[in-house]
């Protein structure tokens, strides 16, 4: 699957589509969360329907933070 252009997760219809799988996102996909000018990285959707993303810390999303979040999710 190819990465798609960044999707805005603050749009309720987009959130619903991500949760129900009709808009599949890959781990690492760039997403927009609210009015942020910097993009976040999508991690996953939990079984309970929470959408996990890693937000930028300063200039960008730090790769070590992103990897840690991915590992944390896989362990839970």
**Residue 56 and residue 37: Cα distance in Å, rounded?**
10
pLDDT in tens, 10-46: 999 999 999 999 999 999 999 999 876 789 999 999 9
pTM of the model: 0.86
Specify if 1 maps to a domain: no
Q: How many domains does the chain have?
A: 1
- Considering the chain, what percentage of its residues have pLDDT values greater than 90? 59
Look at residue 73 in the predicted model and tell me its pLDDT.
77
Specify if 19 maps to a domain: yes
As given in the structure block, the two tokens for residue 37 are 């000018």
Specify if 16 maps to a domain: yes
Domain interval for residue 58: 7-75
Specify if 42 maps to a domain: yes
Q: Each residue of 39-63: b (16+ CB within 10 Å) or e?
A: bbbbbbbeeeeebebbebeeeebee
CA trace torsion 21, 51, 1, 66 (10° rounding): -170
Specify if 69 maps to a domain: yes
Specify if 60 maps to a domain: yes
How large is the average pLDDT for residues 42-54? 92
């Amino acid at each position: 699957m190819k990465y798609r252009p960044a999707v805005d997760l603050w749009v309720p219809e987009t959130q619903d589509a991500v949760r129900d799988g009709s808009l599949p996102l890959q781990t690492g996909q760039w997403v927009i969360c609210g009015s942020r000018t910097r993009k976040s990285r999508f991690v996953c959707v939990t079984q309970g329907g929470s959408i996990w993303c890693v937000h930028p810390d300063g200039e960008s999303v730090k790769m070590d933070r992103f990897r840690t979040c991915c590992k944390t999710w896989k362990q839970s």
